[in-house]
Amino acid sequence: SEQINAIASKYSGAVLLQKKLKDVEPIIRIEDVDGARLVLEFADEIERMLGSKMKSMKVNTAEDADLYHEYNASLQFDYFNALLVNTMDEEGNFIELGGEFPLEENEHFNRLSVNTLMSDIQVPTNVYNKDPDILNGVYMSEALNDIFISNFQKDPTLTWQYFGSSTGFFRLYPGIKWTPDSNGVVSFDCRNRNWYIQAATSPKDIVIVVDVSGSMKGLKMTIAKHTINTILDTLGENDFVNVIAYTDYVRYVEPCFKGKLVQADLDNREHFKLFVEELHVKGEAKVKKAMKESFRILARANGQGSLCNQAIMLITDGAMEDFQSVFEEFNWPDKKVRVFTYLIGRDMTFSENVKWIACNNKGYYTHISTLADVQENVMEYLHVLSRPMVINHDHDIIWTEAYMDSVLFKSKAHSLLLMTSVAMPVFSKKKETLSHGILLGVVGTDIPLLEVMKLAPRYKLGAHGYAFLITNNGYILAHPDLRPLYSDGKKLKPKPNYNSVDLSEAEWEDTEDSLRTAMVKGKTGTLTLDVRAAVDKGKRPFFLKNDYFYTTIKETPFSFGMVLTRGHGQYMFFGNVSVEEGLHDLQQPDLTIADEWTYCETDIDPHHRKLTQLQAVVRYLTGKEPDLECDEILLQQVIFDAVVTAPLEAYWTAVDEGMESAFLGTRSGLMRVIRYAGSEKRVGKRFLTPVDKENLFTVDHFPIWYRLAAENKPGQFFFYVPHDDINKGAQKVIVKWIFYTNRFTRMNSDPVGGRLSILIHLCFSQDVNCYLVDNNGFTLVSKEKGDVGKFFGEIDGSVMAQLLKSGLFKRVTLYDYQVMCKNAHHHTSGAQPLFLLEFNICGLWHNDYVVDGKLGTHRQKKVELMQPCNTEYPGFMYDTSIRETNSIIKCGRCQKMFVLQQVPNSNLVMLVVQADCDCILNSFEHNATVKCNRMKSQKIRRRPESCHAYHPHENAKDCGGACGIAVSLTLYFICLATSLALH
């Protein structure tokens, strides 16, 4: 203990820092944080920001442009096609629709090359880019270009603005060069995006009914499956759905969901697709039973559905029965349920029957003869559902759930961000088409959620505090514990349920759902919970008392919450020093500040966008950029911290080498770092690099080492091995030690094999093994290099079991509801299990992204799938009241003795274990539960206020027919021409 403390004190400069703090005590004041007031202030800021985005959507311009535009079937018009811009032929001439389109890299748009003076047009591969409907629509929507530019000039924080047309083209500002996928195809269709679908229709309950009789074999079944999946893709979290397959009997494709509608979130939609893929044809079609069951499901929906539009989607190659009696019994005369019919295949024998069903139930009929027809024909139902809203001219504003933007749609940046979109429908005002309710498209803009959360500054919330947003359905929009990606080999991929993670799955200590229920209902209030938190990939638990404050964000479906932890979150620490003194110390080479925090707003003026936060702060304080908007309280804090910590630079420089690095962090996001070793000699090369988010101050979190230090006993050092510094086969592993005093955290790093192991080298004999183990049971020093960083239970399970039994270490049960399990998917119709995995103390350790699960014992062909699962796993904490112990463990014919002693003034214990007796513990079995229960459960949700299900002036006679065939022929000739060209 004495030697460790001497080393730590020498290299940390802790004594010097404490003396400096003592000197400045007279100018320090401490204030209580008023959480109830703060949450309302943050919510007002977010409301103003989101409100400014809503104001950018001026639909009148697009509607007026259409009103005065005369449709011209022979219109000739060149526009900038995003896929073709700046493309030349072999002779050096720009190709048609691909003229010169200046592009410049822009910091604000994730360093993509964009044109902020012009929008351009993206057209999916399956849509002819010179179709008269496309040309007329593009020409009409040119009026939006000036609106987009004007919006961006008024609000430079705006990101992408766009117009998605009902004909399939997408006008995007600023303009970009669109990149096709690896097959040269542009599959992005704006009409499939959530913002388009939600703005175009009201919430809906959908029952998809598919014919799986023998006549549907081959290509017909392939088309039918594609049709189902396309319909599923048009649904969102405010919609409800089920899928029924029928022959001479009715069955639910997912038996778990029998007889009820389930929320059409991403997880459930992807789940349905797995079972749709396994549909097989057999028997004779009897549609009557299936239609009756569909009406019954919708009638039973009551409080569980959307309480708005209801529809049945019938997918079949023919209907022979007398089905009129079904509609007389269940749907006439009110026709509250619309029926949409999709005739599959080239045979038109039953087309009149199938069309009659749709036309007599306020639906729409389409004929799908090829896979190319599916997309366009499925979209028709959205136009029908939008009619009441269009006729009423109700411009409802919608906000989407969180979604992944691969900036931008598979661009070269591949910078994955979570976004939300705000969108509004655009209608035709022409009187002659009013009863048809023609939707022209949807305008919208994207908002990066990272920018929203910056409005709740981290420094005001303390070491363990954080802010979060949820939707009206209780799903997380933004939360520091949301992990939307998982590792699949070397690739990061979005989880199938990344945007339908419920608040209860992150705030799992709220077992009564009190917090979730209050927030979903849009209430304002506070709640206190005792929580088990964990850091460092979930390995290090600690107990906190959290105060939750929450309120609603007006004019949106969102609710905002924030957490203050008793102790570090209760108070703010202020000190007053001169700007001149602070400026000098801020500009030292060892100092940085949190670049993700907003000390000064650099995104308003384009000239400021290339400034780092530190550069912006210095320019503001020196008067070079007086117009910068800066956080005066945060600037005051960071200046004070710079002055108080300034002596450490000289101190560290004077200390002789022997460490890898020394660094300090403060609550204001300031960091001082000194490297003792050159990069070629450095073991912990990744530590404190920009990509090493766990060790930096981010929008979501204080660094791991800061949070660990804050919970450590004040005035003593905390030692640990960071997860990322454990390298297989490495001769040296970095050990870090931390010292916490008031709001400052000091930290040093030391390669093991050096100082700490030298201190106990006398113990490395043949007969005994010696270990230094931290308070969470992880090994810092061992004779075997491969043991360093491991949980001690994996090294010697029998000793760890005895330590647990005697109460020296306490087991803390933790949960993670966002893990991905490797499961073998069996080709059966049973429900997919959801795993509750419990790892034993000497087996596998909890992994942040992926765990292995066992799935039954069926001897069938397996396809390994990754799917979300729930995990229960243990954390461990040492009881600091116990100073020393010893014990004997009986192992068959031999006995093993061990001695444990606490290392004073640290978080370490020393273990000396007899080496000549090996005791092996048996591992526990994995425990499983069923996914069905979670997917069926309907938690409290707040329904969207707007609903447009009916209008007396709707022209229900416009119910499809010839147009479906015309679209099919057009697409056929496009595909034929493309095929011949490629050949």
59, 425 in Cβ contact below 8 A? Answer: yes
Q: Report pLDDT digits (tens) over 163-217.
A: 999 999 999 999 999 988 777 888 889 998 989 999 999 999 999 999 999 999 9
pLDDT score, position 923? 41
Averaged pLDDT, 794-817: 91
H/E segment holding residue 312: strand 309-316
Residue 974 in this model has a pLDDT that exceeds 50: no
Question: Are residues 739 and 592 part of one domain?
Answer: yes
Number of domains in the chain: 5
Residue 714 in this model has a pLDDT that exceeds 50: yes
Residue 412 in this model has a pLDDT that exceeds 60: no
Residue 34 in this model has a pLDDT that exceeds 70: yes
796, 913 in Cβ contact below 8 A? Answer: yes
| pLDDT higher at 722 or 360 | 360
**pLDDT above 70 coverage of the chain, percent:** 85
Average of per-residue pLDDT values in the chain: 85
pLDDT score, position 935? 65
Averaged pLDDT, 854-883: 70
Averaged pLDDT, 735-751: 67
260, 297 in Cβ contact below 8 A? Answer: yes
Distance in angstroms between the alpha carbons of the first and the last residue of the chain: 78
pLDDT score, position 450? 92
pLDDT score, position 743? 61
Domain boundary among 921, 949, 974: 921
Within-domain flag for 389: no
Q: At what angle do helices 374-385 and 962-982 cross, to 10 degrees?
A: 150
Question: Are residues 246 and 129 part of one domain?
Answer: no
Q: Report pLDDT digits (tens) over 55-86.
A: 988 888 999 999 999 999 999 989 999 999 99
Q: Within 13 Å of residue 301, how many CA atoms lie on the same side as its CB?
A: 25
Domain boundary among 892, 921, 950: 921
Provide the CATH number for the domain around residue 791: 3.30.450.20
Q: Report pLDDT digits (tens) over 263-299.
A: 998 889 989 999 999 999 999 989 999 999 999 999 9
pLDDT score, position 712? 87
pLDDT score, position 750? 63
Q: Is 56 left (phi over 0), alpha (psi -120 to 50) or beta?
A: alpha
| pLDDT higher at 779 or 939 | 779
Q: Report pLDDT digits (tens) over 531-556.
A: 999 988 888 999 999 999 999 999 99
Question: Are residues 620 and 497 part of one domain?
Answer: no
CA distance 805 to 797: 12
Question: Are residues 578 and 564 part of one domain?
Answer: no
Residue 826: name the closest of 792, 867, 776, 876 by CA: 867
Amino acid at 499: N
Question: Are residues 289 and 312 part of one domain?
Answer: yes
Provide the CATH number for the domain around residue 456: 3.30.450
246, 210 in Cβ contact below 8 A? Answer: yes
Residue 860 in this model has a pLDDT that exceeds 60: no
Task: List all residues 6 or more positions away from 34 whose beta carbon is below 8 Å from its beta carbon.
Answer: none
pLDDT score, position 803? 93
Tokens read off for 636 = 């005051």
Task: Assign 686 a pLDDT band (cuts: 50, 70, 90).
Answer: low
Task: Assign 687 a pLDDT band (cuts: 50, 70, 90).
Answer: low
Within-domain flag for 966: no
Task: Kindly report which listed range (174-178, 221-225, 302-306, 966-970) carries the lowest average pLDDT score.
Answer: 966-970
Task: Assign 854 a pLDDT band (cuts: 50, 70, 90).
Answer: very low
Q: Structural domain of residue 124, as residue ranges?
A: 49-188+407-448
Averaged pLDDT, 404-409: 58
Within-domain flag for 358: yes
Question: Are residues 519 and 435 part of one domain?
Answer: no
Residue 899 in this model has a pLDDT that exceeds 50: yes
Residue 513: name the closest of 940, 36, 942 by CA: 940
Averaged pLDDT, 579-596: 93
CA distance 602 to 618: 13
pLDDT score, position 771? 92
Task: Assign 933 a pLDDT band (cuts: 50, 70, 90).
Answer: low
Question: Are residues 483 and 437 part of one domain?
Answer: no
pLDDT score, position 625? 93
Amino acid at 793: G
Task: Assign 753 a pLDDT band (cuts: 50, 70, 90).
Answer: very low
Within-domain flag for 971: no
Task: Assign 138 a pLDDT band (cuts: 50, 70, 90).
Answer: very high
Domain boundary among 717, 740, 756: 756
CA distance 498 to 482: 8
Within-domain flag for 10: yes
H/E segment holding residue 337: strand 337-344
pLDDT score, position 982? 44
Tokens read off for 14 = 């802790």
pLDDT score, position 723? 62
pLDDT score, position 75? 93
555, 47 in Cβ contact below 8 A? Answer: yes
Averaged pLDDT, 609-626: 94
* Tokens 């598979």 found at: 410
Tokens read off for 971 = 């697409």
803, 842 in Cβ contact below 8 A? Answer: no
CA distance 749 to 657: 12
**pLDDT above 90 coverage of the chain, percent:** 54
Task: Assign 924 a pLDDT band (cuts: 50, 70, 90).
Answer: very low
Residue 972 in this model has a pLDDT that exceeds 60: no
Within-domain flag for 741: yes
Residue 976 CB-density burial (10 A; 0-12 exposed, 13-18 middle, 19+ buried) = exposed
Task: List all residues 6 or more positions away from 550 whose beta carbon is below 8 Å from its beta carbon.
Answer: 39, 515, 518, 519, 523, 524, 525, 526, 527, 559, 560, 561, 562
pTM, two decimal places: 0.89
Question: Are residues 127 and 111 part of one domain?
Answer: yes
Which range is most confident: 146-150, 738-742, 761-765? 146-150
For residue 931, what are the CA distances in angstroms to 257, 498, 869, 888, 935?
A: 11, 16, 8, 44, 6
Within-domain flag for 297: yes
8-state DSSP, 112: E
Question: Are residues 578 and 699 part of one domain?
Answer: yes
Residue 732 in this model has a pLDDT that exceeds 70: no
Question: Are residues 216 and 106 part of one domain?
Answer: no
pLDDT score, position 980? 44
What does the H/E/C string look like for 679-700? CCCCCCCCCCCCCCHHHCCCCC
pLDDT score, position 751? 59
Task: List all residues 6 or more positions away from 611 whose beta carbon is below 8 Å from its beta carbon.
Answer: 602, 619
310, 205 in Cβ contact below 8 A? Answer: yes
pLDDT score, position 937? 67
pLDDT score, position 680? 59
Task: Assign 45 a pLDDT band (cuts: 50, 70, 90).
Answer: very high
Provide the CATH number for the domain around residue 333: 3.40.50.410
Within-domain flag for 597: yes
* Tokens 């996001």 found at: 669
617, 638 in Cβ contact below 8 A? Answer: yes
Question: Are residues 116 and 12 part of one domain?
Answer: no
pLDDT score, position 308? 93
Q: Report pLDDT digits (tens) over 423-472.
A: 999 999 998 887 788 999 999 999 999 999 999 999 999 999 999 999 99
Question: Are residues 235 and 120 part of one domain?
Answer: no
- Please provide the DSSP assignment of 30-61 as one string: EEE--HHHHHHHHHHHHHHHHHHHHHT--HHH
Task: Assign 856 a pLDDT band (cuts: 50, 70, 90).
Answer: very low
